[in-house]
A and B are shown apart, each in its own frame.
Chain A
Amino acid sequence: MNEGGVHEGLDDAELILRSSREPELFGLLFERHAEAMLAYFARRTLDAESAAELVAETFAEAFSSRRRFRDEGVDGAGWLYGIGKHLLSRYFRAGAVEARARRRLGMPERTVSDDDYDRIEELIDFERFGEALAEAMSVLPEEQREAVRLRVVDERSYREVAAALECTEPTARMRVSRGLRRIAGVLETDPSEAPIELERRRWQRRSST
């Protein structure tokens, strides 16, 4: 990038401070942190699309409020992830990523391409979750559990998943996405408060009566 050369030596905090006069320096911050942040969100949301949107929204929000940044104790990345964490918890509460900051800046809402889906899911590194994931999967409804297993455990493509489940590819993607989101809820929060847990109890109650 063109800003790179001169400003490469600046640390994150200096970059944020200087970006208040030279807004384009913020692009450098994005280059440094976007991908790592995408992985961070992907591992927590287990949903490629939400993770990507969270990155965009976090940077939009950070850009809007960069003048508030004070170089006191928290380094630039810490500040950035603080904003990200806040948006993540809002995402878990509302079930959707906000677009307020992006709208304010006039940034369009982008969609995640099929290739991106695969690349982002690679960032998740499902193996790391191991047992927790297996346990969480047991609480999913049948069709979602099957979709998640095929996609995540067996590492099949969406086309194969769709064929195995006898549904269209978008449906397969939706089932995987919903299943993973629920699992993310279980993994992220206190199990007793996770929506999945409440859902499960409700489901058990319904099936027992």
Chain B
Amino acid sequence: MATTIEYLNAVHGDLLDAAKREARAGRRPPARWVPSTGMVAAVVGVLVLAGLIGVIARSDGFGSDDAGQSAAGRAGGTGATGAPAGVLPETVPGLGDDQTIHGNGGQGPPAVSRVIRTAELAIVIPRDAFDERFGEAVDVAEEQGGFVADSRSRNRSGSLTLRVPAANFDQTLHALRALGTVEVESVHGEDVTADYVDLHANLRIARARREVLLGLMADAVSIEQTIRVQNALDETQLRIEQLQGQLRLLDDRTSLATIGLRLREQGVEPESEVEKASIPNAFERAAAGFVGVIAAIVIGLGYLIPILLIGLAAWFVVSRLRRRRTV
């Protein structure tokens, strides 16, 4: 380097050293933009903040969802238990001709809305009270005219599936809540009135068809005619039985509400979660968690981006003004 200025000679050496380091490392030269630690920290900070905001925003959303569901459940409840006016006009006159399809004491035609009511309750009970409270839960079901459809217990925790008349659904829940501290409660109501009406209409048509076929049977003159009518009659009869079966099922599910009850003593791990701790489940939960985090970040960014843009604009204006003032 042909200069007498030592500083330049030194920098020349430094520059060649840097070049040699780069050549030795055999890597591409540093990208034109190397993010500094501060920049990385800022980006991570923004993402974490976005995630937190997203989680808060989503948990709010879930809260209102839950409220909506239980409200729907309760609204449906009054529909099934009583006879609210005008929920469903009597559009299907004459459907109740055949009382036999109403297996549960002949509740009549579906002039009112039909709702399948289900509830999930998780209750924490005091220590050493499991047997007693488990028994009480069974008593509650029986007092309300229902029964225990399924029960399991292990290690001072257990679960019960109770079936109670839809009319006593709310009272049953009320009584069950008194067993301990409610940990989880969700109430669900599914309106199946339309299905019910459809089934009844199809049933009426099938019955009418059977009547016609029976008439033809009586009029049949040849063996061939008789066999053909008989086949059609068999099909129709089968169809009628299927429809009746479906109606009976629907009847059962709407007239009897289902309550899933989980009981556990304080300090005892919830039974279901112990069972769920398997590897495939872990992957499933990890995947769901990942998607959840990304979703939360996206939601959070939605909240943050406008604020960041405003902040950026403000910073730009302020730095402009300051520069003009100081320079």
Contact = CB atoms under 8 A, between A and B. Distances in A.
Interface of A: 1, 19-20, 22-24, 26-27, 30-31, 34-35, 38, 52, 55-56, 59-60, 63-68, 92-93, 102, 104-108, 110, 112-113, 115-116, 119-120, 189, 193-195, 198
A64 B30 contact: yes
Chain A residues touching B, majority SS: helix
B327 A120 contact: no
A27 B21 contact: no
Contact of A56 (B1, B11, B16, B327): B11
A115 B12 contact: no
Contacts of A193: 324, 327
Given A34-B12, A55-B11, A110-B11, A119 B18 contact: no
Between A34, A52, A60, the greatest number of chain B beta carbons within 10 A of the residue's beta carbon is seen for A34
Given A67-B29, A68-B32, A93-B327, A30 B12 contact: yes
A1 B15 CA distance: 14
B327 A63 contact: no
B152 interface: no
A180 B22 CA distance: 38
Interface of B: 1-8, 10-12, 14-23, 28-30, 32, 34, 323-324, 326-327
Chain B residues touching A, majority SS: helix
16 contacts: A1-B1, A23-B19, A23-B20, A52-B8, A55-B8, A56-B7, A60-B18, A64-B32, A68-B32, A93-B323, A107-B14, A107-B18, A110-B7, A112-B7, A115-B6, A198-B326
A67 to B, nearest CB: 6
Nearest to B327: A193
A27 B12 CA distance: 6
A65 B32 CA distance: 5
